[in-house]
Amino acid sequence: MKYIYFDNAATSYPKPLMVLNAMQEYFLNIGASPGRGGYKNSINAGRIIFEARSKLKKLFNAPKEENIIFTLNITHAINFSLNSLLNPGDHVITTSMEHNSVIRPLRFLEKNKNIELSIINCSKEGILDPGDIKKAIKRNTKLIVLTHASNVTGTIMPVEEISKIKKEYEIFLLLDTAQTAGFLDIDFKKLNIDILAFTGHKGLLGPPGTGGLVISDSMTEILTPFIHGGTGSKSEYEFQPDFLPDKFEAGTPNTIGIAGLSSALDFLEKENIKKIRIHELELAERFIETIKEIPQITLYGPDNKDKRVPTVSITVKDFDPSFLAYKLDNIYNIMVRPGLHCAPLAHKTIGTFPHGTLRFSFGYFNTMEEVEFALKALIKIIEEGE
C-alpha cells in the first residue's frame, strides 16, 4: 500500500533524486575535505562548498558569498547567533509562537548570562501585532528574534512591519526562516535583516545536517566565533582566523550534505519557488475548505491562504490528536504529526496545550489525490469514534 507523507514541516520527504545523485557523486568520486589540501579532490570539494554559498547568496539576496555561514541545522545557527551576540544586561524581544530552538537558548541565556527577555503574546490565530513589539522596546533592547512563519498554525509573521520598527529603533533582527525558506521569496537586504537563520532539510529540500546563517556586513564584525578550531587556513596561528567564512566555520564541514543542498537549490530554481508555493497552497486550501465544513473540527491559524504556509493544525472534538495520528498511520498509511511540535508556547497561545494539535504539513511532492484520500480517512475515523 502507498504511504502518504504529510510531515514536511518537520523535514521534507521525498527529496529530489538529483540531491541523492549529487551526494553520491561526492561520495564516489570526490570524498576529500575542502580547503584541507592542494590536491584535485580537495579543490573540487572546496568548489562544491563555494557553489552552494553562491546559490544561497542568490536565493536570499545576501551581501556576499562569505556572509553565508554553514552550520548543522537552524537550531545550531540560532544558538550560535544568540550566544555570540548577547551580553549580560541585553534585552531581547521574541514572540509566543517561537520554536524551542529559539525559546530554549533564550531561557538558558536569561538564567545563565543575565539577559532580559520579553516574550510577546500573539493572538489565538498566532498573529503578531507589531505594535506590541514596539511597546516592549526598552533602552537596552538589542535584538528581536522572530519566526517567519509558525510551525504550528502556519501563520506568516509581519516581518516587513517588524523590519521598519527595528530600523527606527536601531535594534538587530534575527529571522528564523525554518518554515519559509523555499516557500516564500526572502530578500535579506530589502528586509534589512541582520541575521537570517535557515535549515537545509525542510523547504529547501536538502538533506539533514545542513543549515546556516546569512549575516549582514556589520554582523561579520560584531559576532564573535562560537566554535574555535581547524579551518585549513592560517594553521600557524593559535587563534581563530578573523576573515570570513573561516571566522565562524571551524571543523570539517558536512561536504556531502552541502553537495546535496546545492543540488536541491538547483532543483528549486528549476522548478521555481512561486510554482512550488502555488501547488502547496492549493493542497492546503483544499484541505482547509473541507475541514471547515466538519462541525467537530477546529482549525487553528488563518484561513486566508496569503497569510499562511501549507502547515495546517486542527483538533477534533472528543479525540486525542495522538489517537487520530495513530489511526491515520496504522490504517491508512498517512503520516502526520500530533502533539506540541517543539513549540509549547505556541500551543499555549492558541489554547491547545498540553495535548497539542494534529498537524498536516504539505510538500511539493504531495498530490491533490493524497489530500482527498486523507480527508476521507479522517472523516471515516471521526465517524467511527474513539
Ligand X SMILES: Cc1ncc(COP(=O)(O)O)c(C=O)c1O
Active site residues: 342
Which residue lies nearer to ligand X by CB, 314 or 346?
A: 346
Amino acid at 357: T
Task: State the Cα–Cα distance between residues 6 and 365, nearest whole angstrom.
Answer: 10
C-beta closer to ligand X: residue 176 or 246:
176
CB 62 within 8 A of CB 214: yes
DSSP state of 2: -
- The H or E element that residue 360 is part of is strand 357-361
Cβ of residue 159: shortest distance to ligand X, in angstroms? 13
CB of 75 to ligand X, least distance (A): 3
Q: Which residues contact 46 (CB under 8 A, 6 or more apart)?
A: 34, 35
DSSP sequence for 60-94: HT-S-GGGEEEESSHHHHHHHHHHHH--TT-EEEE
Q: Rounded to the nearest whole angstrom, what is the least distance from the CB of residue 290 to ligand X in the complex?
A: 25
Q: Which is nearer to ligand X, 63 or 339 (CB)?
A: 339
Q: State yes or no: cis peptide before 241, omega within 30 of 0.
A: no
- DSSP state, residue 56: H
- Minimal distance in Å, beta carbon 14 to ligand X? 17
Instruction: Tell me how far apart the alpha carbons of residues 35 and 25 are, in angstroms, rounded to a whole number.
Output: 19
Which residues would be at the binding site for ligand X (CB under 6 A)? 10, 73-75, 99, 101, 147, 151, 176, 178-179, 199, 211, 342
Which CB atom, from 176 or from 370, has the smaller least distance to ligand X? Answer: 176
> What is 128-167 written as a DSSP string?
--HHHHHHH--TTEEEEEEESB-TTT-BBP-HHHHHHHHH
Residue number, 64 or 307, with CB nearest to ligand X: 307
> Which amino acid makes up residue 56?
L
CB of 296 to ligand X, least distance (A): 27
The residue among 151 and 263 lying less far from ligand X, judged by its C-beta, is: 151
Residue 154 burial class via C-beta count within 10 angstroms: exposed 0-12, middle 13-18, buried 19 and up: buried
Q: Which amino acid is at 296?
A: Q
Residue 232 near residue 250, CB atoms below 8 Å: no
